[in-house]
Amino acid sequence: MNTTSSEALRLRNGIDWGRIGSYAFLVLLAIVYLGPLLMLVNTSLKTTPSFMRDATGLAVEPNFENFAEAWEKANFPQYLFNSVLYTVSATLIYVLTAVFVAFPIARGYVKYSGALLLLFVIALFLPPALIPQFQLILRLGLYNNPIGYILLFIVNPIGIVILVNYIKSVPKELDEAAALDGCGYFRFVWSIVLPLIRPAVATVVVMHAIGIWNEIILPTIYLTNKDYYPITRGLIVFQGVYGSDWPVLAAAVLMLTLPMVILFLFLQRYIVSGLTAGSVKG
């Protein structure tokens, strides 16, 4: 009776306060989440004197010259090409090898597959071994070398964990049918398994690519030749002895984030479908 009365009152007044409250909460979360990004955009449109006068004020007269200056000052064409080369090469090598590693672990075709998966999970919580890694790269003669830098990113335990868990949802009967038809292991994984786990692969690609694209510590350690700098390392040119040119740096950061935003938007439907499919697969 009380429920019917409240529903009738809501319909009579024409106001759904519950829905309004939900939307207001979501708008508040969006403002909190987008606040730093909007501040970055606002800073990139300011001149240096206006930023020094009022760092948080709105950009009354947008200054788009910051983007052109950042493009030239940070040597964007060369460093952007290097970043694309490192990201695409390392991500492609990692994803291909990770799929062929994750499949036998997920199916239990190797001994102690559960222990192997546990090792990858444990690796998620271990700190990066910078000193042994540095010594290995140095002794292999790959220091200050693009190939050595790419090799640093072909190992990532979180991708293996994601792929193993998703491959477990693929029916095992496909393996038996492929074996009866004489389909080889590599052809089976490439032609059948890989298309079926496309959402998981898209998720791993986005996570891995963003990690490489935004990396700043490793290029600072392993790349000393300016010709090999990725774009994140190139942004250090905006740091001066007496301070930083924040509006131009903000413009450079916005241009830096654009390729990863495009990658995420392109693969978003695969990621979403993977999440929704994973919620109903048993």
Return the number of other C-beta atoms located less than 10 Å from residue 223's C-beta. Answer: 21
pLDDT, greater one: 14 or 46? 46
17 and 118 in a single domain? The answer is no
- Structural domain includes residue 59: no
208 and 175 in a single domain? The answer is yes
Confidence bin at 242 (pLDDT 50/70/90): very low
Q: Is the pLDDT of residue 269 over 80?
A: no
Range of the domain at 262: 66-280
Number of domains in the chain: 2
Q: What is the pLDDT of residue 68?
A: 87
Q: What is the pLDDT of residue 93?
A: 95
- Structural domain includes residue 55: no
256 and 221 in a single domain? The answer is yes
18 and 111 in a single domain? The answer is no
Mean pLDDT, residues 201-226 taken together: 90
24 and 113 in a single domain? The answer is no
144 and 202 in a single domain? The answer is yes
- Structural domain includes residue 51: no
Q: What is the pLDDT of residue 280?
A: 42
150 and 15 in a single domain? The answer is no
